[in-house]
Amino acid sequence: MLENVVNIVADIGGTNLRIGIAQQDGCCEALTVYQCAKYASLAEVVADFIEKEQLSGKTINACFAIACPVENDLVVMTNLPWQFSKTQLKSALGLNKLLLINDFTAIAHAIPMLSDEQKVQIGGGESVADKPISVCGPGTGLGVANLIQEQDAQQQETWLSISGEGGHVDFAPVDKQEIDILEFLLTKYQHVSYEQLLSGLGIEQIYQALASKNSSVESELTAQDVTSRALANECEVCDQALAQFCKTLGSFAGNLALTLGSFGGVYIAGGIVPRFIEYFKSSDFRQRFEEKGRMSGFNQNIPTYVITESQPGILGATAYLLQDNLQHDLQDDIQDKKEAL
């Protein structure tokens, strides 16, 4: 029976969709990348993958990580003209199981599976097994999730992701330069969240705030321009902006550690920071992470990492699906034993 069961996982973004076949060891085979704009719907993409991999007629369990709210049956994608009903999608594709999870839920579930080659530690501290883990990801926005371990009804250790909208908490400046940046952003927004600094747009806005006090530099640069000029030592204001981004990220990550007691580690995800790991290592990120007044000693013991794995969404969706399969198998075994009595 198991030979006829196939687990497929997908990481669905606004531009690309990655889909593959999850193996029991956590690896993903037949990973295929689709350009979303070329397809009218998610069902069309998945159906194409099922046909190409000759999976028709098999029992298919699926877990899709998607960058939008997934709580309701109707899923409306934020950055694509796709919307669908979960129940109708499952029926149309003939799936045995369909799990829809948020993209940051997937990234959180990837963390326990990361090897030393898939992450880089920044600063000191040592992770404690089975303790809470936090993850934040500056990218298009600022994603946040937490991961805790619990025991299910069968006394099995499982990971539970706690997500929310942590990127939208109030930005809290801690020095004069950050106060100046806040005042600049308040001319644009009624509410300034950490996402307004810790994202691609955030890098641009930090630069704009600093450039507004220096008439000799360009007032508008893309995040990529700011970063590349800073790394090449071509622009002092760009360097100040990137350095400030790292500092602010340190403060924010430190806040997550304090809030949850994240002795399992705080992880930086997203597509921005991995582009300048060496710069990040020598930045004030870790100093800011630890600078928490009377609670500085608390954070000094908590490790911080940058996720360098290129497909954390696929890795996490795989972990989530395999854990769900295991829980249901255990429940089925218990039910079978009850019926046999």
Domain boundaries, the chain: 2-105+311-340, 166-307
What integer pLDDT is reported at residue 1 of this predicted model?
44
What integer pLDDT is reported at residue 238 of this predicted model?
97
> Tokens 């940046």 label which residue?
181
**Global confidence as pTM:** 0.89
With contact defined as beta carbons under 8 Å apart, do 81 and 49 qualify? no
What integer pLDDT is reported at residue 299 of this predicted model?
97
Q: How many residues does the chain have?
A: 341
What integer pLDDT is reported at residue 34 of this predicted model?
96
What integer pLDDT is reported at residue 97 of this predicted model?
96
What integer pLDDT is reported at residue 330 of this predicted model?
55
Name the E strands within 139-227: 142-151, 157-163
Q: Which residues are annotated as a binding site?
A: 10-15
Estimate the crossing angle of helix 42-52 against helix 86-93, to 10 degrees: 30
CA 43 vs CA 17, 33, 77, 254: distances in Å: 12, 15, 13, 41
Q: Which residues are annotated as a binding site for ATP?
A: 10-15
What integer pLDDT is reported at residue 331 of this predicted model?
56
> Tokens 């996490």 label which residue?
316
> Tokens 């255990």 label which residue?
330
Pick the CATH number of 166-307 from 3.90.79.10, 3.20.80.10, 3.40.50.2300, 3.40.367.20: 3.40.367.20
Name the band, by pLDDT with cuts 50, 70 and 90, for residue 68: confident
129 φ/ψ angles, rounded to the nearest 5 degrees: -60, 140
Q: What is the mean pLDDT of residues 141-167?
A: 84
Name the band, by pLDDT with cuts 50, 70 and 90, for residue 277: very high
3-state secondary structure (DSSP) of residue 19: strand
Taking the C-alpha atoms of residue 103 and residue 101, their distance in angstroms, rounded to an integer, is 6
Question: Per-residue pLDDT for 224 more than 60?
Answer: yes
Name the band, by pLDDT with cuts 50, 70 and 90, for residue 334: very low
Q: What percent of the chain has pLDDT over 70?
A: 93
Q: What is the mean pLDDT of residues 144-156?
A: 79
Taking the C-alpha atoms of residue 44 and residue 174, their distance in angstroms, rounded to an integer, is 50
Name the band, by pLDDT with cuts 50, 70 and 90, for residue 164: confident
Report the 3 state secondary structure along 259-290: HHCCCCCEEECCCCHHHHHHHHHHCCHHHHHH
For the stretch 281-329, pLDDT in tens is 999 999 999 999 999 999 999 999 999 999 999 999 999 999 998 876 5
What integer pLDDT is reported at residue 43 of this predicted model?
96
> Which is more confident, 215 or 5?
5
CA 222 vs CA 203, 207, 229, 259: distances in Å: 8, 9, 11, 33
What integer pLDDT is reported at residue 214 of this predicted model?
84
Q: What percent of the chain has pLDDT over 90?
A: 80
Architecture per CATH, 2-105+311-340: 2-Layer Sandwich (3.30)
What integer pLDDT is reported at residue 339 of this predicted model?
53
For the stretch 198-216, pLDDT in tens is 999 999 999 999 999 887 7
Name the band, by pLDDT with cuts 50, 70 and 90, for residue 150: confident
